[in-house]
């Protein structure tokens, strides 16, 4: 998605009010500029904007994660009691086969993948999103931690419903093609936050986070 250039928007607005751009006063120009900025902010905040990362992967614009699709990159992603297989199926962002498969091991404990030491500014709004599709498990837990507080929500990626959340501003789930759901949490970092982590975790029932895993499920 792209917005039109500001110059064209300015000409359109001037045409509507019957005023050539050459005759704009400073005050009118400032008013139009404020209108433009307000609308761009509204469009930006209305949803996720897709982009292409420097690693050649589809991502959301402004994404802080390194290798947002390839969760097998062990230099950046930590897998706990899970087996990660890269490039397993097409992702719904650009339909290329770059989505990772995350399967449980038989160990007892948490089953997740996480990326740590991400940029975090204090008292700032953030969003954590993941495209997820069930593979034997129907529940996923998204969590971010700013060093003090964990912001989290459970999602049912079979029925497309939002479960229990904690410390989040909002939680949302949207259906996408090929069995995917886009799960999103928004939150505001703490007043002393300097770094944060992001975690995608498997759950058995939408409340349980530690259990004996099943290697056929993920």
Instruction: Please give the C-alpha separations between residue 75 and each of 54, 137, 147, 167, in angstroms, as whole numbers.
Output: 16, 27, 21, 29
Contact 123, 166 (CB under 8 A): no
Got the DSSP string for 103-165?
EE-S-EE--EEEEEEEE--TT-EEEEEEEE--SS--EEEEEEE-SS-EEEEEEETTTTEEEEE
Secondary-structure percent of the chain, ordered helix, strand, coil, rounded to 5: 15, 40, 45
pTM of the model: 0.76
| Confidence (pLDDT) at 53 | 65
Task: Please state, rounded to an integer, the average pLDDT across all residues of the chain.
Answer: 88
Sequence-ordered list of residues with C-beta below 8 angstroms from that of 50, at least 6 positions apart, any chain: 58, 59, 60, 61, 93, 94
Tokens of 172: 């949302």
Q: Is the pLDDT of residue 89 over 60?
A: yes
Q: Is the pLDDT of residue 206 over 50?
A: yes
What span, in angstroms and rounded, lies between the C-alpha atoms of 175 and 187? 22
- pLDDT tens readout for residues 110-128: 999 999 999 899 999 999 9
């Amino acid at each position: 998605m792209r917005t039109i250039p500001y110059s064209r928007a300015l000409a359109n607005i001037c045409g509507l009010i019957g005023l050539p751009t050459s005759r704009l006063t400073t005050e009118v120009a400032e008013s139009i500029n404020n209108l433009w900025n307000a609308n761009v902010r509204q469009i930006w905040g209305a949803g996720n904007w897709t982009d292409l990362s420097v690693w050649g992967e589809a991502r959301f614009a402004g994404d802080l994660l390194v290798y947002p699709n390839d969760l097998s990159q062990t230099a950046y992603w930590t897998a706990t009691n899970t087996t990660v297989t890269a490039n397993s199926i097409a992702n719904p962002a650009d339909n290329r086969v770059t989505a990772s498969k995350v399967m449980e091991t038989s160990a007892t404990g948490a089953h997740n993948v996480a990326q740590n030491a991400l940029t975090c500014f204090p008292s700032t709004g953030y969003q954590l999103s993941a495209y997820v599709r069930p593979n034997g498990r129907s529940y996923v837990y998204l969590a971010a931690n700013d060093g003090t507080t964990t912001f989290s929500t459970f999602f049912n990626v079979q029925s497309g419903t939002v479960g229990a959340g904690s410390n989040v501003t909002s939680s949302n789930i949207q259906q996408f093609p090929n069995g995917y759901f886009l799960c999103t949490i928004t939150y505001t970092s703490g007043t002393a936050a300097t770094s944060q982590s992001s975690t995608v975790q498997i759950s058995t029932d939408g409340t349980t986070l530690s259990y004996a895993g099943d290697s056929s499920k993920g």
